[in-house]
Amino acid sequence: METYTIQEWLFREAAGRYDVDLAESGVLRQTVGDVEIDPAWDLDYTLDHGSDELRDALHTAYDPSVDDDVLVSTGGQEALYLLYRSALSVGDHVVTQSPGWQQAWAVPREIGCDVTAVRVTPRECPGTAMASAVNARTRMVVLTSPHNPLGTRISAQGSAELHRRCQEVGALLVVDEEYMHDYRSSLVHLGPGVLVVSSLSKMHGMPGLRTGWAIGPRDVIAGMRNYKRFTTVCNSVLCERIAARAVLETPRHLARFDSLHGPGLELLEDWVATRAEQLTLVEPQGTPFAWIELASGDADVIAKTALVDHRVLVMPESVFAPPDAGPSRALRVTFARPLPVLRAGLGALTSVLDDVRG
Each residue of 205-254: pLDDT tens digit?
999 999 999 999 999 999 999 999 999 999 999 999 999 999 999 999 99
Architecture of domain 38-250: 3-Layer(aba) Sandwich (3.40)
Cβ contacts of residue 107 below 8 Å, gap of 6+? 1, 80, 81, 84, 85
Distance separating alpha carbons of residues 70 and 59, to the nearest angstrom: 8
Respond yes or no on whether the N-terminal peptide bond of residue 149 is cis (omega within 30° of 0): yes
Q: Residues 147-164: pLDDT tens digits? A: 999 999 999 999 999 999
Which of 133-142, 178-187, 304-313, 324-333 shows the lowest per-residue confidence on average (mean pLDDT)?
Answer: 324-333
- Strand order across the 315-316 sheet: 279-282, 289-294, 330-334, 315-316
In which element (H, E) is residue 289 found? strand 289-294
Helix (H, G, I), strand (E, B) or coil at 203: coil
Q: What average pLDDT does the chain have? A: 96
* The CATH classification of domain 5-28+253-356, taken from the options 3.40.50.970, 3.90.79.10, 2.40.400.10, 3.90.1150.10: 3.90.1150.10
CATH 3.90.1150.10 in the chain, residues? Answer: 5-28+253-356
Alpha helices in 65-144 (DSSP H): 75-87, 103-111, 126-133
Which of 85-99, 286-300, 319-333 shows the lowest per-residue confidence on average (mean pLDDT)?
Answer: 319-333
Q: Are strands 172-176 and 138-144 parallel, antiparallel or unpaired?
A: parallel
- Where are the strands (E) in 25-100, listed by range? 68-73, 93-98
Q: Are strands 330-334 and 289-294 parallel, antiparallel or unpaired?
A: antiparallel
Helices 250-273, 237-248: axis angle to 10 degrees equals: 80
Q: Of the candidates 15, 30, 4, which has an alpha carbon nearest to the alpha carbon of residue 254?
A: 30
Which of 6-10, 61-65, 325-329 shows the lowest per-residue confidence on average (mean pLDDT)?
Answer: 325-329
Per-residue pLDDT at 358 exceeds 60: no
CATH 3.40.640.10 in the chain, residues? Answer: 38-250
Per-residue pLDDT at 327 exceeds 80: yes
Distance separating alpha carbons of residues 127 and 82, to the nearest angstrom: 25
**pLDDT at residue 148, rounded to an integer:** 96
**What pTM was estimated for this model as a whole?**
0.96
Per-residue pLDDT at 80 exceeds 80: yes
Per-residue pLDDT at 322 exceeds 90: no
Confidence of residue 286 (pLDDT cuts 50, 70, 90): very high
Helix (H, G, I), strand (E, B) or coil at 190: helix
Better pLDDT: 204 or 323 = 204
Confidence of residue 68 (pLDDT cuts 50, 70, 90): very high
Distance separating alpha carbons of residues 220 and 218, to the nearest angstrom: 5
**pLDDT at residue 244, rounded to an integer:** 97
